[in-house]
Structure 1
Amino acid sequence: MAPTIPREQMAALFQPRSVAFIGASESSGFFRISWDLVERFGARARTHLINPRTANVFGQPAYERCVDVPGGVDCAYIMVHRGMVAQAVEDAAAAGARSAVVLSAGYAETGPEGARAQDALVAQCREAGITLLGPNMLGFANVAAGVAAGALPGIQPRRGQVALVSQSGAGAGSLTRFAATHGIALSFAVTTGNEAMVTAEDVLDYLIDDDDTRAIAVFAETLRQPALFREVARRAAAARRALVILKVGSSDLSARTALAHTGALVGDDAVIDAVFRQDAVLRVDHLEELLHTANLAAATGPWRSPGVGVVSLSGGACDVVADRAEEVGLPLPALSARTEQDLAAVVSDLGHVQNPLDVTGAGMSDLSLLPRAAEIVASDPRVGFVAVIGGRPTPAPMPAIAKALQSAGAPGAYVATVDSALDEETAQVLAECELLYLPSIRDAMTAMARVSWWGRRLTELDHQSADASGDLTASSSDPTASSGDLTATTRTVVAGSPLSEAEVRDLLRSAGVPVVPADFVSTRAQAVEAAVRFGVPVALKAVSRDLAHKSDVGGVRLDLRDATQVGEAYDAIFDGIAVAAPAAHVDGILVSPMRTGGIELIVGVTHHPGWGHVLAVGLGGVLVEVIRDTVLLPLPAGDDEIRRALHSLRAAPLLRGTRGRPPVDLPSLVTAIRAIADLATALGDSIDTLEINPLLVGRDVVEALDGLLTWRGGSGSPRS
């Protein structure tokens, strides 16, 4: 998907030659913070102050209007009351401005009147050819270019590799302060506010190609352009640039649960989580974790191996690491025999050689011990990253630790046992020797776990791409390759028209989904004949487009074991529906053999308004919403992804075979799931839910026992 704002316009916004500060005033807190940033960046020469009421602000000359600035202005940084913004934009446009950064509040965030004012502001900017960032935000800072047009405190002029993008201005201000005290250098900091024109996705699209940025930390409340976000995420993965996001706010799309279980399992936040996993986006839970994870990923890139080696001065710290690693999913590999042998020569008197490694307090008296042990651990091929754990960081040991890690060729970090901010001297030493710092075991463990997962996911995507490029394996690995031509199958389906269960069964079968055998009958005698042909026990189900839940009106009879029971059940279904739902038209009865044993799964596809078709696979049956053992996959998804999804279920041991139960036919199961996914996708965006619950699986059986198709707007097929 093409970005909504062309790249040249984004460049005009973020790389202006001159910036006009409209509303510059010594009494404004926003201006004071902004001017401090200008002075930190040494950007006075490109910054022009606009204030019609005074000729001087903080010793700088002030102009009455933008048009008075010699040579004009490229970017207008507007800090005035909402009622004065339109005039400021007009003045800036007359001075040649191509972009406007509007801090002013009182727009769409306040209600309908503010929304109308925001629409008028956007229209004015579009007519003037101005790219608008904001309103209701704190601006931006381009550290590499030395451009300061934001009220963002604490940003240091030291060029970094982490870009911060935040929809929250206050959140961004807290994060820039935090970065300054924890040795995290930024390449960019951008707030987007109301996103009247430029959205967070537009900023990400621009930054993913920025040469100075290796990771982007995103604090998002909403994602307005899902398709563009996914495109940016895929480009980031291909470029080995980390996209780290703290996405706050979640709500369930519960309107469809009256007809389908899938709707209860596929809420907004669950879908976003699945999208992030599929596209190798690192999702975090806390603000501090956002910056630490981005900083780690930017400094190291994906590791050669997902495992982490730990060297510590404290046995207690090693115990904390071991416990926490299992909780966050961080691999702590056993060391190779060669590594253990080399370590034994260094720490032979200090206890057991293992990972995590405790060099004990001897490392305090012999400052060479910790670096030597770290270098040996870093040389282990099973280790992709080394965490060197000690007390509050001081300058003295850092160069030796950095040199040891660099000699071994594996990235690493110094980790403080408890959260410790850096003093200026230590921060300077760490920067000079290029040693990464993580301020606590807690923060280090979560950041390392995220980056380790990121590397593993990138490897999976590489294999997926490589498989898809080969003719022999494209059908099983390429997520865009359909399981068959479904044009003829879907041609007769009219979007929005309800289908009976018999019609849904025919649709599934024609798409290649195995369905339990059934006969459609319209007389009592035919029902008995079908039961004899299948062999008892059998099940009888009413066929009617008018019944949403057939079992609620007596439309389902199970476990019928002789001809008499079948005949009586046939009559009882019609009699019961005539009383419970007299307006319902019953087309006939489906007779099918009862199935026992096996494992009941749910396989459903729903269409999310922002993210498209989403596949849900999990443990099914009547307790599906209680057990909630389900995994989501945005479509398209290849067979390998479906297989991994099945193995990620808590019920996966049942599928693999356990306690004397045989394993299920996994290849046939994956094929059936892929066929269901392809059918749902072929039915288009009008579909709400296509659901099979249950899909019975066993050693030699994969069968859909019940099917449901609903359309957006509420109409759909009945279910049992």
Structure 2
Amino acid sequence: MNSSVLRLQRQKKSSHPAKGDNSMARGIVFSTERLRALFEPRSIALVGASDKSAWSWMIHAGLIQGGFNGKIYYINPRNPVVHGQTTFAHLTDIGEPVDLCYIMVGIEAVLPTIQDMIAAGLHNAIVLTGGFAEQDEHGQALQEEITRLAAQHDLAIIGPNCMGYINITHSIEAMANLPERPILAGSIALISQSGALGALMLNYAHTQNVGLSMLISTGNEAVISVTDVLQYAIEDETTRVIALFMETIREPARFVQLARQAFERGKPIVVLKAGRSEATARVALTHTGALTGNDRVIDAVFRQLGIIRVKSVEELILTANAFAKVGSLPGRRLGIVAISGGACDLAADLAEEAGIALPIFSEQTKNELRTLLPILGPANNPLDVTGAALNDQNLMGNILSTVTRDPELDAVLCLIEPPADETPQSRFVMNILGGIDQALKSSPIPAFMLPLTSNDVRDSGRTFLELTGIPFLSGGIHMLIPALGKLMAWMERYQAAQAKGPEQAVSPLSLTIEALGSWSEYQARELLAKYGIPVIPATLATSAEQAAEAARAIGFPVVLKVVSPDIVHKSDIGGVKLDLQSEEEVRKAFTQLMSNVKAATPAAYIEGVLISALHAEGIDLLVSVIRDATWGQVLTLGIGGIWVEALKDISLRILPVTRDDVRAMLTELQGAKLLAGVRGSKPVKMDKLVEVIYRTAALAHSLKANLELLEINPLRVNGSQIEALDALITWQGAAK
């Protein structure tokens, strides 16, 4: 096997923990009702309120301008009046329950303030103050004390080092920010581990006319993490789509559980994931370790969970908006209408890249279109209405009414810009939009107006959209058409899951093995065979004569491989001999092989030499399960055998998996067509292959307590013949 040595590569520790490192086990899971008390307060205390503080002014102004109708208490021990309001010296002086404390005091005053909360019987807080775990060891110690106090006294604390939140649905602006107004209400929950970036995203959403149900920043996550907020958003009735900006996933198991819950409830999650979480140990040089970098695993996890991953802030907001506005789509068939041939060409290219079908219009639709516009010529999809639409303000609306009734379509887009400023030209465009408005709103299928470019929505355009209620998606075709492709793929998966119901994932075997270090190939083969995973027949020999006898019994040609738990790179040290045609060749090869191995690795323990038949035909696969520091066991499938690292044609899933997961992984491979049979090769018995891989995953999952790596490379596939030609099993901890 041309696999690499298993090596644990420990990363160099930084001088202080990463931002928001929650190294103390939080051990706190809040109920949804408890989270509602945090995010839907009826009274708020501003601790550190001051006329000299810009933060205080922003919080005060936000609560007032945002229409918060609860009580606001101002806490300042030095000034009797702040922002024109009477203050209290301490939280304990208020004398009545307070639902939320917004803490904006200096770092050394944060813990005394939390102690004051505890004394007053208050349980919810936002800590704006920075300088904790993101700063230095002193800040880390203070943050760990916040975590300890929270666990001891049932405190739900957002931050420290966070901006807070805006619950738009409930008119609560508990965030140090000066947002564009009016803040647009909608059905997207925007969750950000970065407060400043969250505020910028809120303003970007405003420029694109995107409404939110909430914006919540989590900061260092000493207590409340992004998973807690995710739980709240899933249960929130106003929220239809969840948009996340994440730097770190601190509770991976719970995140997976909640993501599955969101998918089952039909709430899409769109994620912008930045950076890479630190791993305390990484398998570095096996084929699997070289392929499954942390970010690649995250990609696989998101795909497995039905999470849509995006690459920019703009894509995050606009994709989430497309999901929220469009909702359910029955299929991938799209109709496009525009007043530009160039726009039609661009849209067609984008649709093809996004996997969206642009079907030919039905004959009835074509005939009706020619009646409306005799000079139209071929009625293609996308449809260029030409400048004729400028001469007849009703033409575009009539054409859309015809196209949206076409039975070959699942959705329709009309590519046209909303009005910008109050000019004669914009008023002329608005006359055209009047007919479009009625056609889109009365469409029997989802139909939307979509601008060509991602220009900001101006005040006049926003006013027009509000007055008419025209179905509108902002962001331009380069953002929105790919977003629609993602929506269509998500809907297909969701509808298939709803129709089929949950499939049983890997059922762990009743199996316990206590082992350390690496096993030899011979030991690994025995375990695989015992649990129903086919391995190529082979015999272990300890002498040249035994090897010759074994080769005669197996039949020529044969392969010889050294067997040792200490040697993984067999071929690199001359430990493999191929295509041996006679007993004499086998004897000579055995002697030469043993000489090579002893010279290269004199301290290695040699169990013997494995003799097996040479099966040259077939397709080689990599099948492995590796322990990931964050996500646990990761299943990797790849095409290539010894070439797998060069080709990097792999698919990943975290365990447990279903047989459907395995089948989907195989179809994701770029070389999937090879399995169907090409140039006279035998097509693979797919059900049998899926079962072999599934059993491998089940075996690994049963051994997860101390298994580090289980790798079959290659798994040779030739029609119905499926055999593991080589295997490696490595356990946690060094062999004694």
TM-score by length of 1: 0.92
User: Would the aligned equivalents of 2:104 and 2:128 in 1 still touch at CA under 8 Å?
Assistant: yes
Amino acid at match of 2:588: E
**How is 1:8-407 mapped onto 2 (pairs within 5 angstroms)?**
8-43=33-68, 45-69=70-94, 71-152=96-177, 153-154=179-180, 156-250=182-276, 260-393=286-419, 398=433, 400-407=435-442
**Cα distance change of structure 1 residues 383 and 113 upon mapping to structure 2, 3 Å threshold:** farther
> SS of the counterpart of 2:597?
helix
- Structure 1 partner of 2:697: 677
- 1:142-201 CA distance string (max 9 Å, x none): 111112211232364543111110000111011011112211111111000000000001
User: Would the aligned equivalents of 2:507 and 2:698 in 1 still touch at CA under 8 Å?
Assistant: no
Aligned length: 700
CA offset at residue 281 of structure 1? 0.9
CA offset at residue 252 of structure 1? 9.3
CA distance in 2, matches of 1:607, 1:352: 58
- 1:690-713 CA distance string (max 9 Å, x none): 111111112232111111111234
Amino acid at match of 1:135: P
Amino acid at match of 2:487: V
- Structure 2 partner of 1:552: 572
User: Would the aligned equivalents of 2:50 and 2:82 in 1 still touch at CA under 8 Å?
Assistant: yes
User: Would the aligned equivalents of 2:637 and 2:651 in 1 still touch at CA under 8 Å?
Assistant: yes
Amino acid at match of 2:685: D
**Cα distance change of structure 1 residues 619 and 3 upon mapping to structure 2, 3 Å threshold:** farther
- 1:62-87 CA distance string (max 9 Å, x none): 44333444644221111121112223
CA distance in 2, matches of 1:198, 1:417: 41
CA distance in 1, matches of 2:559, 2:60: 78
Amino acid at match of 1:562: S
CA distance in 2, matches of 1:319, 1:105: 51
CA offset at residue 223 of structure 1? 0.8
CA offset at residue 326 of structure 1? 2.7
CA offset at residue 275 of structure 1? 1.4
- Structure 2 partner of 1:543: 563
> SS of the counterpart of 2:636?
strand
- Structure 2 partner of 1:632: 652
CA distance in 1, matches of 2:108, 2:544: 78
- Structure 2 partner of 1:474: none
Amino acid at match of 2:169: A
CA distance in 2, matches of 1:521, 1:155: 80
CA distance in 1, matches of 2:725, 2:412: 52
- Structure 1 partner of 2:477: 441
User: Would the aligned equivalents of 1:555 and 1:577 in 2 still touch at CA under 8 Å?
Assistant: yes
CA distance in 2, matches of 1:400, 1:92: 59
**How is 1:464-543 mapped onto 2 (pairs within 5 angstroms)?**
464-465=500-501, 468=503, 478-481=504-507, 486-487=509-510, 490-491=511-512, 493-543=513-563
**Cα distance change of structure 1 residues 253 and 85 upon mapping to structure 2, 3 Å threshold:** closer
Unaligned runs of 5+ in 1: 469-477
CA distance in 1, matches of 2:434, 2:88: 50
> SS of the counterpart of 2:410?
strand
Identify the structure with bigger relative contact order (alpha carbons < 8 Å, sequence gap 6+). Answer: 2
User: Would the aligned equivalents of 1:254 and 1:267 in 2 still touch at CA under 8 Å?
Assistant: no
Cα RMSD between the aligned structures?
2.5
**How is 1:611-650 mapped onto 2 (pairs within 5 angstroms)?**
611-650=631-670
**Cα distance change of structure 1 residues 452 and 715 upon mapping to structure 2, 3 Å threshold:** farther
CA distance in 1, matches of 2:93, 2:435: 56
> SS of the counterpart of 1:208?
helix
Amino acid at match of 1:590: L
Amino acid at match of 1:271: V
CA offset at residue 667 of structure 1? 2.1
Match of 1:431 among 466, 472, 481: 466
Range 87-96 or range 689-698, more displaced: 87-96
- Structure 2 partner of 1:706: 726
CA offset at residue 225 of structure 1? 1.0
CA offset at residue 595 of structure 1? 1.4
- 1:358-410 CA distance string (max 9 Å, x none): 11222233232333333333334443332211134456555643432332232
CA distance in 2, matches of 1:495, 1:429: 70
CA distance in 1, matches of 2:227, 2:728: 36
CA offset at residue 2 of structure 1? 10
- Structure 2 partner of 1:414: 449
User: Would the aligned equivalents of 1:102 and 1:134 in 2 still touch at CA under 8 Å?
Assistant: yes
- Structure 1 partner of 2:684: 664
CA offset at residue 60 of structure 1? 3.7
**Cα distance change of structure 1 residues 143 and 675 upon mapping to structure 2, 3 Å threshold:** same
In the alignment, is residue 459 of structure 1 matched against residue 482 of structure 2? no
**Cα distance change of structure 1 residues 88 and 184 upon mapping to structure 2, 3 Å threshold:** same
- 1:393-440 CA distance string (max 9 Å, x none): 456555643432332232233221122212234223323415233131
**Cα distance change of structure 1 residues 123 and 315 upon mapping to structure 2, 3 Å threshold:** same
**Cα distance change of structure 1 residues 120 and 56 upon mapping to structure 2, 3 Å threshold:** same
Amino acid at match of 1:277: R
CA distance in 2, matches of 1:343, 1:2: 64
Amino acid at match of 1:242: P
In the alignment, is residue 581 of structure 1 matched against residue 601 of structure 2? yes
TM-score by length of 2: 0.90
- 1:314-369 CA distance string (max 9 Å, x none): 11111111122233333434434444344343344223322222112222332323
